Chains A and B, each alone.
Chain A
Amino acid sequence: MSTYLVKRLTYMIIILFAASLLIFCLYAFTPGDFISGNLKLSPERKEELRQIYGLNKPVLERYAIWMKNAFHGNFGYSLAQQKPVLQLFNEYIWNSFLLAIVSTFFTWLISVIIGVIAAYKQYSLFDSLIMVIIFAAMSIPSFFIGLLLIKGFAVDLKWLPPGGMTTTGSNATGLAYVKEVIQHMALPVMVMTLLSLGSLTRYFRSNMIDVIKQDYIRTARAKGLKERKVLFTHALRNALLPAITLVGFELPGLFGGSLIIEKIFNWPGIGQLYMSSFSSRDYPLLMGFTMFIAILTVIGTLLSDLLYKLADPRVKL
């Protein structure tokens, strides 16, 4: 087990090193930079600024500087926002994380329940109906559902606020603040849940259908166990095992933000920041964020492997 961990951690470092090189090169070799896009600057001033930011140095040297700073926990300074990259992450990522964690929770909860019932009653009216609804939800683009919900719940019914994270001009604190954020969260979370519900439900349904046909389910029934116990103790645990792989993939998604949803609901998340950094070619922030996602992806896969070890006695590490 410990030799396995050492081995995995070594691989992780190598992978991250390769990823950093790739990420750096990608941005370094893309034509144009933060300075060239600014038409107001004279060529002399541009040259001067390049000198100041070190953009005229050879690529490898710039990479070495970036890496050296990164090892010291310094991912640079956002050119557009004039703030340290990590400080910006800290300001925006948690907002995105809040949306993602809540919608992921609901997505998993609902899709496990619906998936199990649909599998148990395969080809029944319930099953067919659910599958149709799910396909419909999967096929509609997120901006459309988003706008539809804003029209319905915010504009027509006036139940929920149409966007933002808090009411404009509000300075609520404590519980009042929490309540306000929850109200603002409701719609984006609803859209995110609706969109990811489909694939996950279908995944759990098909896993469950496979498991229900197994011999050990027949044995559990032959023992005279209650159907609820057969389904949830014997079948569900086995049906959930392959989903552990997905848990690893979810990790970067939790912090990655959602571009479209954040834009539509005017949510101050990292997705919006990332998008605006693209248009201003704010490379330090873009590189820092891409690297951050790479680190989370690698950690996610390790985490899911360790979870397998916990959940499945047949897995040996």
Chain B
Amino acid sequence: MAEAIIHLRNITKKYRDCTAVRECSLTLERGKIYGLVGKNGAGKTTIMRMIAGLSLPDSGQVELFGKDAGSGESGKIGTLIEAPSLNGSMTAKENLRFYRMLSKKKGCYDTDEELLTLVGLSDIKRRRVKDYSLGMRQRLGIAVALLTKPEFVMLDEPVNGLDPIGVVEIRKLIKKLSEKEGMTFLISSHNLPELYQTATDYIIIDKGVVKKEISQEELERERHESLEEYFLSVIGEGEAK
């Protein structure tokens, strides 16, 4: 069994009268690529936000690398949640410089050039981000998330707005980083065919509750037609399909 780096223990999060996440417990292991799957409003982003420390659980505990969430583990976690965290008035290079200044971790990519090339932005690195298309912003958001070569990366709809070439490039990049650098990914996506080609494990969530955790191998062994078909059967909407 691989080393566990993230523990969620019975976390519950309510927004007024709505329970977004209910007594959720999860353990994420190093080097795996987790696909977080669920309908709109199932609680996927809320779980990611609590792991990132952007939202605090009403009860339960979030533990990252043996410490409570938000306790100063700068550089160990990379995030792209909901929308890329970018300064519009800065260029791509300046944005990366800002995030480099924030991180104490030195084991980053040697140069911004290397990272921008990885995400396909080396040609427009001097253009202000406010002039970028949705896909370009998304690519830069991924570059920011990967900047410090973090041990754990959370990506919320990472291929949103990317062209088909970009989708393939990002998929390859995630797989490479997981295999070669041992980075762990938690990816939330509604693009299930794409997620199926990337993830090694799946977490299926519905109405704030973790319904099923299954690995790619188990999924293939059980001979499911597709991830979409399996997801619908788990949340009890198989017939609707």
A binds B: no
- Residues of B at under 8 Å CB distance from A? none
